[in-house]
Amino acid sequence: MDKLIYLDNAATTKTAPEVVEAMLPYFTENYGNPSSVYSFASGNKDVITRQREIIADTLGAAANEIYFTAGGSESDNWALKATAEAYAGKGKHIITTKIEHHAILHTCEYLEKQGYDVTYLDVDENGIVRMDELKAAIRPDTILISIMFANNEIGTIQPIREIGELAHERGILFHTDAVQAFCQVPINVDECHIDMLSASAHKLNGPKGIGFLYIRKGVKIRSFVHGGAQERKRRAGTENVPGIVGFGKAVERAAASLKERTTKEVELRDYLIDRIEKEIPYCRLNGDRKKRLPNNVNFSFRFVEGESLLIKLDMKGICASSGSACTSGSLDPSHVLLAIGLPHEIAHGSLRMTLSEETTKEELDYVVGSLKEIVENLRNMSPLYEDFIKKQNR
Ligand SMILES: *Cc1c(COP(=O)(O)O)cnc(C)c1O
């Protein structure tokens, strides 16, 4: 295929043309600072409020519970650090999981150095938190439970409502990193008893560098950036007006198409899973088959090295992602794949493909064809595979 096949939508997505179009006037004509008094600029305040309303509506929240940030990582940092500080008088214990994004895990490690105690829950073989283990982890000094809505690597969706109900019953705050789930799965913050929720625009065809933290009214939360009075004095800095407008547009469009888009994605996702399972031997689907993001496919291929797979796929114009972090200078396989119990050598041979609304069946047919050929070639060069086949034939 001459066209690029982009199957890395969990890493980032293409900014939708109508999003770019909506943003442009806020760079060119309407560049005023929303805090200024003259009407040329102050109109931008209403524009921001409107975007807050659009976002709040999709969550069943109120507009003044939405705080704009510079993205998912900042929202996660804010939720954890500020609650830790504000509720330190009540206790210093936080519960999270072993499969969170590094924006949560590394913030927890930082908090441990500040004297907080963090419990990292195990997950089952599909990546789902066990409710009895969560219950058992709760202590009188637990102030916060932070569990992601859906996992960015294996796509597993957590029992968020049950977790929220439990947290609510025990009077513990509940934060969820919903960066992957927002606008992919319907979310209502009241039904799920969510007190704080992180999201990011660039994961849903919006621009990079803009996100929000939903903070339920009544939650004591400290300011994250000190300075001006923006974001109800909680997060100072001149608003990223074009980004906020782009985010609003992205949410509007993603919310309107949610059902239709995800139905189509689920169909294509399952088609891809079926074909790989039927046509490529010695592979394993990672993550839950049903409680799974509509666009996530993650496989481990035995006797194959994930990085080599990615390079060969790249040569065929296919963009995907592996579960190992070799590119960042470490040879450790993904913490998520290890947490679901994969041995190192199997975790190393993992591949994540995340679809978009633009993905077609023809593209996936080309991907399966390429994958079959590449996996076979790589295995033919593997001494481990050779041994394995010899033993099989004995
Ligand atoms: C992408 C991602 C983040 C980070 O969001 P940024 O906007 O890139 O900072 C956090 N959590 C999850 C689950 C993600 O997928």
Atom of ligand 1 nearest to the CA of 208: 7
- Ligand-binding site membership of 326 (annotated): yes
Nearest to 25 by CA among 42, 46, 47: 47
- Ligand-binding site membership of 102 (annotated): no
Residue 201 CB–ligand 1 contact under 6 Å: no
- Among 152, 154, 196, 335, the mutation site with the greatest number of ligand 1 atoms within 8 A of its Cβ is 152
Nearest to 192 by CA among 208, 216, 211, 209: 216
**Dist. CA 369 → ligand 1 center (Å):** 31
Residue at 62: amino acid letter: A
Q: How long a stretch of residues is the chain?
A: 394
Torsion angle, alpha carbons of 286, 316, 370, 374, to 10: -80
- The Cβ of residue 393 has, within 10 Å, a number of other Cβ atoms equal to 6
Report the catalytic residues.
Answer: 326
Q: Would you list the domain boundaries of the chain?
A: 5-12+258-392, 17-254
| Per-residue model confidence (pLDDT) at position 3 | 86
Q: Atom 3, ligand 1: which residue's CA is nearest?
A: 72
Among positive and negative, which fits the CA dihedral 114, 92, 81, 332? positive
Residue 71 CB–ligand 1 contact under 6 Å: yes
Residue 72 CB–ligand 1 contact under 6 Å: yes
Residue 153 CB–ligand 1 contact under 6 Å: no
- Ligand-binding site membership of 152 (annotated): yes
- The Cβ of residue 40 has, within 10 Å, a number of other Cβ atoms equal to 12
Class of the CATH-defined domain 5-12+258-392: alpha beta
**Dist. CA 206 → ligand 1 center (Å):** 13
Out of 3.30.310.220, 1.10.375.10, 3.40.640.10, 3.40.50.880, the CATH code matching 17-254 is 3.40.640.10
What span, in angstroms and rounded, lies between the C-alpha atoms of 49 and 188? 20
- Among 200, 202, 204, 240, the mutation site with the greatest number of ligand 1 atoms within 8 A of its Cβ is 200
| Per-residue model confidence (pLDDT) at position 333 | 87
> What does residue 144 show for φ and ψ, rounded to 5 degrees?
-150, 140
Residue 152 CB–ligand 1 contact under 6 Å: yes
* Residues with Cβ within 8 Å of residue 68, at least 6 apart in sequence: 48, 52, 210, 211, 212, 231, 235, 239, 240, 243, 244, 247
- Ligand-binding site membership of 392 (annotated): no
**Dist. CA 101 → ligand 1 center (Å):** 7
Atom of ligand 1 nearest to the CA of 209: 7
Residue 104 CB–ligand 1 contact under 6 Å: no
> What does residue 125 show for φ and ψ, rounded to 5 degrees?
-70, -15
Q: Is 366 exposed, middle or buried (0-12, 13-18, 19+ CB in 10 A)?
A: middle
- Ligand-binding site membership of 354 (annotated): no
Residue 333 CB–ligand 1 contact under 6 Å: no
Mean pLDDT by 10 residues, the chain (394 residues): 91 98 97 95 95 98 98 98 96 98 98 98 98 98 98 98 98 98 98 98 98 97 92 94 98 97 98 98 97 98 95 97 62 91 93 97 98 97 92 86
- Ligand-binding site membership of 13 (annotated): no
Q: Atom 8, ligand 1: which residue's CA is nearest?
A: 72
**Dist. CA 104 → ligand 1 center (Å):** 10
- Ligand-binding site membership of 72 (annotated): yes
| Per-residue model confidence (pLDDT) at position 221 | 85
Residue 243 CB–ligand 1 contact under 6 Å: no
The Cβ-side half-sphere exposure at 33, using a 13 Å CA radius, reads 8
Residue 206 CB–ligand 1 contact under 6 Å: no
Chain centroid to CA 246 = 19
What span, in angstroms and rounded, lies between the C-alpha atoms of 120 and 97? 4
- Among 69, 187, 203, the mutation site with the greatest number of ligand 1 atoms within 8 A of its Cβ is 203
Q: Atom 6, ligand 1: which residue's CA is nearest?
A: 72
Nearest to 222 by CA among 94, 86, 111: 86
Domains 5-12+258-392 and 17-254 share a fold: no
Atom of ligand 1 nearest to the CA of 11: 1
Asked if residues 287 and 126 have their Cβ atoms less than 8 Å apart, the reply is yes
Residue 179 CB–ligand 1 contact under 6 Å: yes
